Structure formats: structure tokens, C-alpha cells
Amino acid sequence: MHGLDIVGFVKGVASADYNNDGRPDLLISRLDGPPMLLRNDGPAGPDKSPRAPWCFTDVAESAGLTRPRRSFPCWFFDYNNDGWPDIMISGYLIHDVGEIAADYLGRPVAAEKARLYRNNGDGTFADVSRECGCLLYTSRCV
């Protein structure tokens, strides 16, 4: 993808250099699809000059960011203080308060849960939501 031509119901955008290559990358959450992680590949074109169009590649699936399918806010932060930006994406779809109660009780729910992704330092992320105690719709990890 050259430049950015995103069509969809975008609900959140965050920027960080997740792969520590010196270029800011973009994280996009959408109400109508899975999250997008746009790796900044720098200037395109034969001379790679700063005036050339910049190229971004959606690497979300290969990086392990596939959920939530419907999301709202998103952000980068280093939750484990290892120097690599991690990702938090909040879920959106909820039918009623019963789903929140079921989640607190540890019962299965169909709603989209918030996801915490740990940066593995190799261009991929691990979903650590369960082990960190992320709760449905609270964006709170305990």
C-alpha cells in the first residue's frame, strides 16, 4: 500500500515505532473489521528520497493482531517495561449487561473483549489478555 487510503468506520488511531526501525507505524481500530497495523516502510520509489511517497504495509495478521473484530479505542504503551511498544485494543460489540456479568464470573460470552498484545520484539505480538486478566469492556487488566 502506498500512502494511506483506508475506507471503513475507523474508531481509533495510534502511532508508535513498534519494530524500532526509526519510523512511526500506525495502529487502526475499526468498528467494521479487524484491527490494522500499518508498518511504515519509508519512502517508496527508486531513489528512496524523502520526497517520494511513503509506503505503509498492513501486517496485522502476520503480526498476530486479529481480534477484536469490532473495536473502539486503541493505543500503544509499554505495559511490561521492556522497551518495546505493546498494544491495547478495546472491544465494542455488547448485547446487554448480562454479558459483562458473565465475563466477571468467568463464563463464556459472545461479546468482543479488550485485547492486550505483548510485543515480541520480532515484528509479532502475543495475545496476553487472559494471563494479564483483561476484562470485558473495561479495558482494565488486573
DSSP string, 74-103: EEEE-TT-SSS-EEEEEE-----HHHHHHH
Query: Residue written as cell 465475563?
Result: 103
pLDDT at position 62 is: 97
* Grid cell at residue 12: 481509533
Residue 57 confidence class, pLDDT cut points 50, 70, 90: very high
Nearest-angstrom CA–CA distance, 8 and 84:
29
* Grid cell at residue 50: 524523502
pLDDT at position 136 is: 52
pLDDT at position 103 is: 77
Nearest-angstrom CA–CA distance, 91 and 67:
8
72-103 pLDDT tens trace: 899 999 999 999 999 999 887 777 888 878 87
Residue 34 confidence (pLDDT) above 70: yes
Weakest-pLDDT range from 1-5, 14-18, 74-78: 1-5
pLDDT at position 140 is: 47
DSSP structure class, residue 63: H
Nearest-angstrom CA–CA distance, 38 and 66:
13
Residue 13 confidence (pLDDT) above 70: yes
pLDDT at position 142 is: 44
In this structure, how many other beta carbons lie within 10 angstroms of the beta carbon of residue 37?
A: 26
Instruction: From residue 128, give the alpha-carbon distance in Å to each of 46, 99, 131.
Output: 40, 21, 5
Nearest to 115 by CA among 59, 57, 63, 55: 63
